[in-house]
């Protein structure tokens, strides 16, 4: 310990800075008012977040609905192209030009869907999976493994990591009395 003398205590001569609308005796009330205002702001933020999430979810549902409509158009193009291929001998040179134009429009539609993150399901060789497929028919075939996919009737699509539309498929079964699995 040092025997050095302590510096003299200097008295504080300044007065507190006056704050309009605040008095020391009201400090507790002010703190309560701030706490209430903070709680109210937090409620408003939570309500705004809820409204935003609800709006985002509705927007996502609406967008999925529009994408499904575009997939219906894509399916229609594919049906037309299959029909044309079945009657290729009846197609005139002028019709081939039109078909080429339709193929261009179909590719443009495919590009728009791809830009939106819509991806066609390609996992048919893995067998039936109710998460990805919807069995619309079953065929008796004891030589194939149960639930093998033998035909894709309508393609399935994934959008942003979720199934937008399940692939509609025909699967195999071993007994005559089985129904297709859903």
Is 5 within a domain? no
Which of the four pLDDT bands, split at 50, 70 and 90, describes residue 2? low
Give the confidence band of 155 by pLDDT, cuts at 50, 70, 90: very high
In this structure, the answer to whether residues 88 and 104 fall within a common structural domain is: yes
Q: Chain centroid to CA 45: how far?
A: 25
Distance CA 30, CA 125 (A): 70
Share of the chain above pLDDT 90, in %: 50
Together in a domain, 90 and 133: no
Residue 178 lies in a domain: no
* pLDDT tens digit sequence for 59-104: 999 999 999 999 999 999 999 999 999 998 998 999 999 999 999 9
Tokens of 116: 């939106």
Dihedrals φ, ψ of 165, to 5°? Answer: -150, 130
Which tens digit of pLDDT belongs to each residue from 111-132? Answer: 999 999 999 988 777 788 889 9
Domain extent, residue 48, equals 30-116
Domain-ending residue, one of 116, 141, 161 = 116
**pLDDT for position 147:** 83
What residues form DSSP beta bridges with 104?
none
CB 120 within 8 A of CB 70: no
Pair (46, 77) in one structural domain: yes
User: Quick one: pLDDT band at residue 28, thresholds 50, 70, 90?
Assistant: low
- Distance CA(114)–CA(44), nearest Å, equals 38
User: Long-range pairs for 37-41 at CB < 8 Å and ≥24 separation?
Assistant: none
Instruction: Return the structure tokens found at 4.
Output: 């050095």
Q: Is the pLDDT of residue 139 over 60?
A: yes
Domain count, the chain: 2
Provide the token pair at 133: 């497929």
Beta strands 133-140 and 167-173: pairing type? parallel
Distance, CA of 134 to CA of 71 (rounded, Å): 17
- Using the predicted structure, report yes or no on whether residue 26 has a pLDDT greater than 80: no
CB 109 within 8 A of CB 74: yes
CATH classification at residue 163: 2.30.22.10
Identify the domain boundary among 70, 88, 116.
Answer: 116
Strand partners, 134: 168
Query: Given this model, what pLDDT does residue 11 score?
Result: 74
Query: b/e per residue, 77-108, with b = 16+ CB within 10 A?
Result: beeeeeebeeeeeeeeeeeeeeeeeeeeebee
């Amino acid at each position: 310990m040092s025997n050095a003398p302590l510096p003299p205590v200097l008295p504080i001569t300044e007065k507190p800075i006056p704050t309009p609308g605040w008095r020391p005796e009201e400090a507790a009330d002010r703190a309560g008012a701030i706490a209430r205002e903070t709680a109210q702001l937090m409620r408003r933020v939570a309500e705004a977040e809820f409204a935003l999430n609800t709006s985002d979810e509705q927007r996502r549902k609406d967008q999925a609905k529009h994408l499904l409509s575009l997939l219906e158009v894509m399916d229609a193009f594919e049906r037309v192209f299959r029909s044309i291929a079945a009657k290729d001998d009846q197609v005139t040179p002028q019709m081939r030009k039109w078909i080429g134009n339709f193929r261009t429009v179909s590719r443009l539609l495919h590009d728009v869907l791809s830009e939106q993150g819509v991806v066609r399901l390609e996992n048919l060789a893995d067998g039936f999976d109710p998460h990805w497929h919807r069995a619309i028919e079953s065929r008796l075939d004891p030589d194939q493994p149960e639930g093998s996919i033998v035909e894709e009737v309508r393609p399935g699509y994934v959008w942003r990591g979720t199934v937008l539309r399940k692939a509609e498929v025909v699967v195999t079964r071993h007994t005559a009395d089985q129904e297709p699995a859903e």
